[in-house]
Amino acid sequence: MPHHDLMLTPAGPALAPRYREPKSPAATPLSSAPAPAATPLSSAPAPAATPASGSYRRLFAVPGARAFTLGNLVARLPMGMLAVSAVIMIAGAYGSYALAGAVTATGMAATAVVAPWTARLVDRHGQRRVAVPAAALAALGSLALLLCVHHRAPEWTLFVAYAATATSPNTGGMSRARWAHLLRHEPSALHTANAFEQAVDELCFMLGPVLAAFLCTALFPEAGTLTGAVLLLTGVLVFTAQRSTEPPATPRSATAPGSLLRGSGTRPLLGVFLTMGAVFGAMEVVTLAHVDGPAAGPILALQAAGSCAAGLVYGRTGRSGRLRTCLVAMTCLMAMPFLGAATGSLLALAAGLLVAGMATAPTMVTGMALVQRLTPSGRLNEGMTLAVTALLAGVAVGSATGGWAAEHAPSTVYAFLIPAGAAALALAGETARGMREARGMTEARRSS
């Protein structure tokens, strides 16, 4: 996943434990504050048990699942469209890719700040009450950017307009929250649902850029941004209209107080996500620099294709593995693009990216399951959004590092060592976090 798997982007555009997991789904919350007393998620009776895991067809037999999934698919397609559309539109009008990059980078920074607050409001007041106005504001920001570019407004207006798109709700996180609510009595089926969600992310990031480039070149430069804004708002409206599957809002008084960032185990976990994001950001930039031609897009899409396929297969296993094990696989497989590039053959590089991508979705599915287990009740959207924000930051760091390496290394082949090295750092961080948590559990048992 370049920055696939991210549930957020600057304009709309989401990690498994190291120790032996307890059989109970309850876990230590990310917040350092004591977990709130358990409260029923809904006053309605629990939904009928989902059939055995491993069947996506049976998964969508859950009442209401098909309807909210359809809306979410429409809302998430712009994840891969809006940033690409903005770059094409701005660079074409102002003749500066530097300006286009600066505008989209500003949007990403604004998203990193705003997204956790939006997610907290979603948890506290409900998806429909928050997501609809947030998506409307983001769509208006995209339309304002379109008008500014079309009329060649001063450059500073582009930054202001694009920053407004940071309010876009984390639709991937909201969809996962619905699955967690519907399948709260079926952990194996929830694993399958998470794998499906990850595959959807990969699909959106494969199709989104292609659709954006086609619209901007075949119709008019603003077509990609306009279409993305319409799809975002339409998808969110359809998604939130499915009231029967919406998780109940959790008032502030019923949730653990304080920021999730204050939890003792939160920052190390987010550090792992940060380095994982660096893997994806570096791989994308390095691949583009190495191929440097029209074949770069299709070749890079193979990484997402490998991740999508692996995610669907992983979901059929019915249970999640350990994050450390997944990161071992990722570290090994991320060396494959380097080996492929070293042969000088684009086919070998394409094969290497396809294989490397197969570690992405299982790692993300496993990690997202960890977030769901460790986040306090009623703050699931916030916890997942913090993880995605860390990934976004990692993508930015990885992109910058990969670009520097591609420009200064004796050959762009050596730049492929950057994502492999970032994967090794993520593995080291997760190993250290697991050891620290294991020590904490041992001390807690001794004290008790």
pLDDT score, position 334: 93
The mean pLDDT value for 199-210 works out to: 75
To the question of domain 56-447 being in CATH 1.20.1250.20, the answer is: yes
**What is the amino acid identity at position 207?**
L
pLDDT score, position 423: 93
Q: What region does 376 belong to: left with phi over 0, alpha with psi -120 to 50, or beta?
A: beta
- Cα angle: 432, vertex 284, 380; to 5 degrees: 50
Question: Which H or E run contains 209?
Answer: helix 187-218
pLDDT score, position 293: 67
The mean pLDDT value for 312-336 works out to: 82
Q: Residue ranges of the alpha helices (H) in 316-416? A: 323-333, 336-342, 346-357, 360-374, 380-408, 412-415
Q: Concatenated DSSP letters for 297-320?
A: HHHHHHHHHHHHHHHHHHHTT-S-
Q: What is the CA 29 to chain-centroid distance, rounded?
A: 21
Q: What is the pLDDT of residues 70-95, one digit of tens each?
A: 888 888 888 777 777 887 788 788 88
* Tokens standing for residue 137: 């504001």
Q: What is the pLDDT of residues 212-230, one digit of tens each?
A: 778 888 888 888 889 989 9
Give yes or no for residue 53 having a pLDDT over 80. no
For the chain, counts of helices (H) and of strands (E): 18, 0
The residue behind tokens 């890079």 is 300
Handedness of CA 55, 58, 62, 64 (dihedral sign): positive
Give the whole-angstrom CA distance, residue 280 versus residue 314: 20
Q: What is the pLDDT of residues 345-400, one digit of tens each?
A: 899 999 999 999 888 888 887 887 787 777 776 677 777 778 877 887 787 788 77
pTM summary value: 0.68
Q: Specify the DSSP class assigned to residue 80.
A: G
pLDDT grade for 200, boundaries at 50, 70 and 90: confident
CA proximity to 261, closest of 181, 376, 177: 376
* Average pLDDT of every residue of the chain: 76
What are the structural domain ranges in the chain?
Answer: 56-447
Give yes or no for residue 273 having a pLDDT over 80. yes
Give yes or no for residue 25 having a pLDDT over 50. no
| Close Cβ partners of 331 (under 8 Å, ≥ 6 residues apart) | 420, 423, 424, 426, 427
Widest distance between CA atoms in the chain: 69
pLDDT grade for 330, boundaries at 50, 70 and 90: very high
Give the whole-angstrom CA distance, residue 67 versus residue 59: 13
CA proximity to 37, closest of 45, 26, 22: 26
